[in-house]
Amino acid sequence: MPTISMFFGILISIFYKDDEQHHIPHIHARYQGKKVSVALDDGRLLTGDFPPRQLRMVQVWVDIHRDELMADWELAVAGEEPFRIAPLQ
């Protein structure tokens, strides 16, 4: 599970070959012991629980970096190392 970005205490990861559970491109985020999965196409929450402010930050970050995230998703599904993506600033 490579960490592809970190900002404001939030860790963003993409799992290798993780296209079976949700069947859609998504990222995983962790913050203070809480975890979520967020869809890349529209930023919707797929699973998990996050404080509202941190979830919104992740959704904004996904919106800003959607093209890069989709490229990373394709790499990760193929079992290749995804690239790091700039944090939310």
Per-residue model confidence (pLDDT) at position 15: 87
Confirm if 9 and 38 have CB atoms less than 8 A apart. Answer: no
pTM for this one? 0.91
In the block, tokens 């939030």 appear at 10
**Does residue 7 register a pLDDT over 90?**
yes
Listed by start position, the domains of the chain span 3-77
> What single-letter DSSP state applies at residue 23?
S
Place of tokens 């600033």: 89
Calpha distance 26→15 (Å, rounded): 9
User: Is 70 exceeded by the pLDDT of residue 6?
Assistant: yes
The 10s digit of each residue's pLDDT in 11-66 is: 999 988 766 665 789 999 999 999 999 999 999 999 999 999 999 999 999 999 99
